A and B are shown apart, each in its own frame.
Chain A
Amino acid sequence: DTEVTQTPKHLVMGMTNKKSLKCEQHMGHRAMYWYKQKAKKPPELMFVYSYEKLSINESVPSRFSPECPNSSLLNLHLHALQPEDSALYLCASSRERGAKNIQYFGAGTRLSVL
């Protein structure tokens, strides 16, 4: 089972709204990731959690706030977003150790900011 589940699949929000994206995995992985993907571009890494601790923050604006409540869950809290933040947001997970360290992705949340 290599399933990473993301909710919601689609989200439309205004610039003053607060919303959250959710990601869940039950593969026992200890690393979880948020990526942002604009149309026709590769994914861009935003955050990495390793053993529930934030290990990488790729200079993401503070209007994006990640949270890892436990080893299976990853949230991305959104507040005061801009229209240019409209994108596909992908969550991934992987084993923390091992040469392969394959990242398994969810189906993503398509976010539109009006």
Chain B
Amino acid sequence: AQKITQTQPGMFVQEKEAVTLDCTYDTSDPSYGLFWYKQPSSGEMIFLIYQGSYDQQNATEGRYSLNFQKARKSANLVISASQLGDSAMYFCAMREAPGANNLFFGTGTRLTVIP
């Protein structure tokens, strides 16, 4: 079974609008971490936001927020006030145990921001 599922291969959003990128995960480990990365065409993987399984609040980092629904095993990324520079590939990833080195990546969602 896939550890991380991203069902949206591509998404379009109008500049200045908000967009939600979906991510569901599968684990039986009670302690895990969820990450979102952005990968522009240049190739660098840029860390955006982290959510721990025991965190009570949804994570936020500037225009990025994570809609964490533990019972549904979903960790959707919300980008507010989209900018042209947000056009990129977005990967959701999971680490299953504290300090574990393996990251399980989803297949990614390509976001295109339309002027």
Contact = CB atoms under 8 A, between A and B. Distances in A.
Contacts, number: 63
B47 A107 contact: no
B43 A88 contact: yes
A33 B108 contact: no
B106 to A, nearest CB: 7
Contacts of B102: 45, 48, 56
A42 interface: yes
B107 A100 contact: no
B103 A106 contact: no
B74 to A, nearest CB: 18
A66 interface: no
B29 interface: no
A83 interface: no
A2 B43 contact: no
B107 A41 contact: yes
B43 A99 contact: no
B29 to A, nearest CB: 13
Interface of A: 2, 31, 33, 40-43, 45, 48, 50, 55-56, 88, 90, 92, 94, 96-108, 110
Top 3 nearest A-B pairs (CB, nearest first) are A42-B105, A105-B45, A107-B44
